[in-house]
Amino acid sequence: MELPGLAFAVCLFLCFCAPVDGYPNGKVKQACASMIPCHGAAPQLPPEHTITLNVTEFKPGDSIEVNLSGPDYEGFFIQARDAEHLDGPAVGSFMLADQRLSQLLTCSRTKNSAVSHTSKTKKKQMKVYWIAPADAPNHVQFLATVVKKYKTFWVKIPGPIVSQRNALSPATEAIPTSQTISHLLKPFNASGCGSTKFCIRNPSNCDAESASCFFLSFKREGSSVLIEMSGPSEGYIAFALSHDQWMGGDDAYLCVNEGHHLRVNTAYLKGRSPPVLDSEIALEDVSWRLADGVLQCSFRRSIHLLAYKGRFNLHGIYYIFLADGEVSGDGLIYKHRRQPLVTNGMYNVTGLPQDIGGSRSPLLIKVHGVLMFVAWITTVSIGVIVARFFKPVWSHSFLLGKEMWFQVHRVLTLTTVMLTSVSFMLPFIYRGGWSEQAGYHPYLGCTLMVLTTIQPLVAGFRPSRHAPRRWLFNWFHWSTGTIARILAVVTMFLGMDLPALDLLDPWDAYTVIGFVAWHVGIDVLLEVHSYCLIRKVELVEDDRVQILQSLTSAEAEGRLFKQLVLTIYICGNIGFLAAFLAAINQI
């Protein structure tokens, strides 16, 4: 994996030189093989556009009408390929029906073997003609990549299959393979983990036979290693060996669900692009099992594979990634929807057997979440309760020359500012800049940071208690703080579902909603208590006369009750923090 920085910037620049829609004029020959736009986003599912043909059979030299239609789109890229080898080169050639909106490209040294757009003009339908070559395969399938807008696109949308007359159905023809495939009869188990084999489990110490457990094991047997991999997924599960904790330059192994059977592939990860699958499989004794939504694959590979480029020596030490995701109908591997598990250190899988876990969330992001939770669920909430309800109770108690309630409030709010400031920087340090894939969370976070900074600055210039403009300061201080607290809860709620900190359901909803209900409940309880104290009366001899007690006297009577409620509130907040830390520890 490449380190972020100059190398990453160079790769990113090269990547953007080859998108399907990166050039509005459609000159996208660099995308001939993968048909994937490098737009910094994952392809969409399912496709909205369709490919239709005017025939189902052909013979060499025939002209077939191909139509691509659907909702408005800007860019497109169409090819015909051997239906039994969709990763192979484009076959045949095209003729244009509208030279204003479409153009011919040369792919795989075959002239006019692909068609693309000429401009970003909106299109609903595009018609071209495909000419069957003399050496056409028995079965041909048409594929299309469609770009609706820069980050909204579909890759390799499968079209109909046309066959040469009298050719056997693709399903009845034998497809050669270099692998010997067998079926597993039962789930994997964790026996031997840490003693005879190296294991990784997520969640840590989960039962390998459980439908919710991701399991990966390596068992050395002579000059080879038996590898077992399983986990719940509708698309694929995969692991990769890496020299660092960043994607790129990795040795990857995939177990892919193809409907009623599984396919095992080796691949090379290049940056954040889809895996480059190997045409030759350097694996032996391949077995699989598909049951109850759990994919299981086992295979054997030699410790040294000098003849295969991209395969790492298993005597080395590596970070290990474990990921899962979706697969398109034609086998295209989509980006994992959640953060992959990454081991905390580098390991030699053929060395001392161990039984370890890993984390699907980077340490800096975990610390970011914990600091924000402490700041906005604990310190600031207690500080607000103290300032709102404990002025009369602690008005005659002093700490360092100031009223106690004020000192407690100031210390807690300044602690909130400090924790928020430190936490705010951590995602930028981890990402190396701004994240375009975090939705509204970073924007709300920046707004919260501004409000957090304003509060102590304004408080430093507050007028005296009896100044004529004191009411203006009070309203501004209260409204800014209230908006910041509401914004903090919303921002944390959104952040808990981001891939880098995807808490297990229903922790995110229960934690945030539970805290809001808890805080509002305590606030209402203290408000009702204060109201009852103010309205408390002292009856005199004439029971028709009611004398309103002074606020100070009434509040003093409720001192014990308020201190009890504050203690309960602090304990409750600590409980929410403990629950959040437990949830963080599970990812």
- Residue-by-residue pLDDT tens, the chain, 587 positions: 444 443 433 333 334 333 344 455 556 667 788 888 876 677 777 788 889 999 889 999 999 999 999 999 999 999 999 988 888 899 999 999 999 999 999 988 889 999 999 988 999 999 999 999 999 999 999 999 999 988 888 888 888 889 998 776 554 333 333 445 667 878 898 899 999 999 999 888 888 888 889 999 999 998 899 999 999 998 999 999 998 888 788 899 999 988 778 889 888 887 767 787 776 677 888 899 888 889 999 999 998 877 677 788 898 899 999 999 888 776 678 888 778 888 888 899 998 999 988 777 778 888 998 999 899 988 999 998 888 888 777 767 777 778 888 889 899 999 999 999 999 999 888 878 887 777 888 999 999 999 999 988 888 888 887 888 888 888 998 899 899 999 998 998 888 777 777 666 666 667 778 888 898 898 899 888 877 776 764 433 444 444 444 445 555 567 788 889 889 999 988 888 888 887 776 66
CB 577 within 8 A of CB 378: yes
Question: What domains lie within the chain, and their CATH numbers?
Answer: 29-164 (2.60.40.4060), 182-359 (2.60.40), 363-586 (1.20.120)
Structure confidence by residue, pLDDT tens digits, 257-279? 887 788 898 888 877 677 877 76
Distance CA 141, CA 157 (A): 10
CB atoms within 10 A of CB 13: 9
Q: Which two three-digit tokens encode residue 305?
A: 């594979």
Q: How confident is the model at residue 505, as a pLDDT? A: 60
Pairing of strands 152-164, 57-58: parallel
Q: Sign of torsion, CA 244 245 249 254?
A: positive
Which residue has 């066959």 as its token pair?
A: 163
Which of 87, 93, 85 lies closest to 139, judged by CA? 85
Q: How confident is the model at residue 512, as a pLDDT? A: 78
Q: How confident is the model at residue 26, as a pLDDT? A: 55
Q: Which two three-digit tokens encode residue 221?
A: 């047997």
Residue 544: helix, strand or coil by DSSP?
coil
Distance CA 288, CA 260 (A): 11
Which of 43, 64, 44, 42 lies closest to 53, judged by CA? 64
Q: Which two three-digit tokens encode residue 377?
A: 């669920």
Measured N-to-C along each axis, helices 380-389 and 470-495 cross at an angle, to the nearest 10 degrees, of 150
Q: How confident is the model at residue 581, as a pLDDT? A: 80
CB 290 within 8 A of CB 296: yes
Beta bridge partners of 50: 69
Which of 397, 219, 242 lies closest to 310, judged by CA? 242
Q: Which two three-digit tokens encode residue 95?
A: 């003729």
Helical (H) or strand (E) element with 532: helix 507-535
CB 409 within 8 A of CB 383: yes
Q: How confident is the model at residue 228, as a pLDDT? A: 95
List helix spans (H) across 390-440. 404-431
Spell out the residues 6+ positions from residue 305 whose beta carbon is closer than 8 angstroms to its own: 282, 311, 313
Distance CA 140, CA 486 (A): 58
Q: How confident is the model at residue 5, as a pLDDT? A: 41
Largest Cα separation within the chain, whole Å, is 116
DSSP summary character for residue 314 = T
SS3 content of the chain, % helix, strand, coil (to 5): 30, 30, 40
CB 415 within 8 A of CB 375: yes
Pairing of strands 110-117, 102-107: antiparallel
Q: How confident is the model at residue 542, as a pLDDT? A: 42
pTM score: 0.56
Residue 153, CA atoms < 13 Å, CB-side half-sphere: 26
Where b means 16+ CB within 10 Å and e means fewer, 171-194 reads: eeeeeeeeeeeeebeebbebeebe
CB atoms within 10 A of CB 526: 20
